Amino acid sequence: MLNYPMPVLDEAELAAAAAGLAESEIRLLSGTVVDPAGVIRAKHVPTVRARAFHVAGVGASPSWNVFCIDNAIAFRPGFGVVGDLRLRADLAALHVLGDGLAWAPAEMFDQDGDPVPVCTRGLLRRTQAELAGRGLTALVGAELELVVPEQVGRPWNAYGLGPVLDVEPFVLDLVDMCTAVGLPLEQVHAEYGVGQVEFSLSPTDPLTAADNVVLARLLAGRVARRHGLTTSFSPQPFAGGAGNGAHQHLSLFRDGVPLLSGGRGPHGLTPEGEAVIAGIVAGLPELLGVFAGSVLSTHRLQPGRWSGAYACWGLENREAAVRLCAATSGNPHGASVELKCIDPSANPYLATAAFLGLAADGVSRGAALPPEVTVDPAGLTGAGAAVRLPVDQAAALAALDASPLAERLLGTEIRTALSAVRHHELDTYGEEDVAVLAERFRFTWSS
Ligand code: GLU
Ligand code: MG
C-alpha cells in the first residue's frame, strides 16, 4: 500500500530550487500538512534549510494527527506523546509566493524516511497511482467558497456586481497573486450567502488539485490580512443561511478517453462512466464523515441550500450531491461530476482520495446507475423518495465507523485519527447551539 513514496529531487533539481529561492529573495519556506480535522498546520524553515526540509524533514509529534479543532488532543494508541514523525516538504510542488515567503506541501514519514500510512497527502498520491495502474486518469477542479465576515451586515446581492466591488482591492490582489504563483484561477463571483465570495480553480491532476486548495487558502488569508480583512472557510460561518461548500469536479479517462461523455448511456455516459456515478452515489452515506464530518457540517448540509443533502445524481441538479455537468460547448473542460456535499472542514487530500476511491469502487464492481433525479429531491416522497445523507454528525460518524469501504479506501490509521477528532467534536459540542459553534470555529479552517 505504501509503495508510491514522494520523489526525492536529484542534486541538479535541488540546486535549481535553491537558486530560484535565492533569486526571489525568499527568506522563509512554509511546509504545510492538513490534519484529519481539516486544519492546515505548518512548519517553517529559513531558506538555507530548504534542502534539509525536503530530504531529512523536520519533526512533528504523531499527536498532530489527533489535534482537534479546539486544540484538544484526542489521544489514541499510536497517536500519543512519544515518537516522532518527519514532515518532508515536496519541493517538486514548491511555489515562490514573493515578499520573502515560499510554500510547499509536506508529507509525513517515519524517522527512517519511510512513508507512514496516516499521511493524507500520501494516501492521495497512492490512490492516484493505483488508478493509473488500472489505466484510469483523473482531473479534479476545486471550488472555494469563503465568507468575509467584515462584509456581513452590509448590503448584498447574491451573484451581484456590487459585492465584488466592495471587496475589489482584496479580489484584485488575490487574482494577481494567483497569477504570479501559477495557481490556475477559473472564475470569481459573489455567492448567495452574505459576504460570500467564490474562487474556482481549473482542473488538474488530483494531487495538484488538493495542493491548490491549500495554496489558495494560504493566499486568500495572506492577501486578506493586507487589506484588514479576514476569511472564513467554515462550513457554517454564521447561524442560518448559506454555508461554505468546497465542491470538487471530477473527470475520469481510460487511456485518455473520457468516461463521462461520448457513450450511449444517459447524457452520453459510457458504461464505466455510469459505474463511476453509481459508485459515488452508493458510497456517499458511509463516507459523508470524510466529506462533511465536522460538528458544523450538517448545519450546512440542509435541503434548499444547494449543498447536496441527498445521495442522488442528476444532470445540472444543484440539490443532488452528485451533479453531472455534461460535455457541451459551454463546458470546454468536458464532462465532470461535481460532488457538492464536500465542505471546507474536510481535509482536501482525504476528500479527493475518497471521491476517487468511490468512483474506482463503482468501476471495479460494474455498479449499476441508479435512476436520475431530475427534480428537487426534497419533493420526492414514498417509494421514489431520495436518500437523505446523514442528518447530524452522530449519524455521519456512526456510518463512517461501521463502513468496511471507508476502511479500505482510507486505511486503519487515517480512519482511527479521523474518527478520534470528530468524536471529540461530537462529545464536546454536539449539543451546542449553532450560533455559538459558528462563532467559536469561524476561522478554524482558514489560514
Ligand atoms: N454555498 C453552497 C454550499 O454550501 C453552494 C452554492 C453553489 O455554489 O451551488 O455548498
Ligand atoms: Mg458556489
pLDDT in tens, 139-171: 999 999 999 999 999 999 999 999 999 999 999
Nearest CA to ligand 1 atom 7: 306
Measured in angstroms, how far is the CA atom of residue 92 from the centroid of ligand 1? 33
Which residue in the block uniquely carries the three cell numbers 489505466? 135
Q: Which atom of ligand 1 is nearest to the CA of 235?
A: 4
What whole-number distance in Å separates Cα of residue 6 and Cα of residue 410?
18
- Of 7 and 360, the structure prediction assigns the larger pLDDT to 360
In this structure, which ligand is nearest to the CA of 199?
2
Pairing of strands 40-46, 58-60: unpaired
Residues with CB under 5 A from ligand 2 (ion): 198
Smallest CA-to-CA distance from 196 within 229, 156, 246, 168 is with 156
What whole-number distance in Å separates Cα of residue 147 and Cα of residue 354?
26
Measured in angstroms, how far is the CA atom of residue 245 from the centroid of ligand 2? 7
Neighbours of 126 (CB within 10 A): 20
Q: Is the CB of 299 under 6 A from ligand 1?
A: no
pTM over 0.85: yes
At 248-299, the pLDDT tens digits run 999 999 999 999 999 999 999 999 999 999 999 999 999 999 999 999 999 9
At 361-378, the pLDDT tens digits run 999 999 999 999 999 999
In this structure, which ligand is nearest to the CA of 244?
1
Confidence band, pLDDT 50/70/90 cuts, at residue 5: confident
Range 254-278 burial, b when 16+ CB lie within 10 A, else e: eeeebbbbebeebbbbbebbbbbbb
CA angle 207, 208, 209 (to 5 degrees): 90
In this structure, which ligand is nearest to the CA of 318?
1
Q: Is the CB of 306 under 6 A from ligand 1?
A: yes
pLDDT of residue 1: 44
pLDDT of residue 233: 98
Tell me: domain 126-440, CATH 3.30.590.10, correct?
A: yes
Instruction: Give the three cell numbers for residue 427.
Output: 462529545
Nearest CA to ligand 1 atom 6: 306
The two most distant CA atoms of the chain are separated, in Å, by 66
60 DSSP β-pair partners: 85
Strand intervals (E) in 290-371: 310-315, 320-325, 336-339
What whole-number distance in Å separates Cα of residue 377 and Cα of residue 313?
10
Q: Which atom of ligand 1 is nearest to the CA of 340?
A: 10
Confidence band, pLDDT 50/70/90 cuts, at residue 341: very high
Host H or E run for residue 253 = strand 248-254
Which residue in the block uniquely carries the three cell numbers 459505474? 275
Whether the predicted pLDDT of 2 surpasses 60: no
Q: Is the CB of 235 under 6 A from ligand 1?
A: no
What whole-number distance in Å separates Cα of residue 67 and Cα of residue 36?
8
88 DSSP β-pair partners: 107
Confidence band, pLDDT 50/70/90 cuts, at residue 4: confident
Measured in angstroms, how far is the CA atom of residue 11 from the centroid of ligand 2? 43
Mean pLDDT of all residues in 119-130:
97
Mean pLDDT of all residues in 426-445:
98
Q: Is the CB of 242 under 6 A from ligand 1?
A: yes
Q: Is the CB of 318 under 6 A from ligand 1?
A: yes
Confidence band, pLDDT 50/70/90 cuts, at residue 3: low
Instruction: Give the three cell numbers for residue 434.
Output: 449553532
Mean pLDDT of all residues in 405-417:
98
Q: In terms of C-beta distances under 8 Å and separation of at least 24 residues, what long-range contacts does 377-382 make, across chains too?
A: 377/303, 377/310, 377/312, 377/317, 377/319, 377/320, 378/303, 378/304, 378/310, 378/319
DSSP state for residue 5 in the 8-state scheme: P
Sign of CA pseudo-dihedral 286, 198, 69, 309: negative
What whole-number distance in Å separates Cα of residue 328 and Cα of residue 335?
8
Percent above pLDDT 90 for the chain: 97
Q: Is the CB of 323 under 6 A from ligand 1?
A: no
CATH code for the structural domain at 11-118: 3.10.20.70
In this structure, which ligand is nearest to the CA of 344?
1
Mean pLDDT of all residues in 201-230:
98
What whole-number distance in Å separates Cα of residue 33 and Cα of residue 151?
30
Smallest CA-to-CA distance from 338 within 266, 270, 284 is with 284
Spans of all domains in the chain = 11-118, 126-440
Torsion, Cα of 409, 415, 418, 423 (10° steps): 130
Helix, strand, coil fractions of the chain, as percent rounded to 5: 40, 20, 40
Residue in 145, 197, 233 to alter for ligand 1 test, most ligand atoms within 8 A of Cβ: 145
What whole-number distance in Å separates Cα of residue 80 and Cα of residue 27?
33
Q: Is the CB of 305 under 6 A from ligand 1?
A: yes
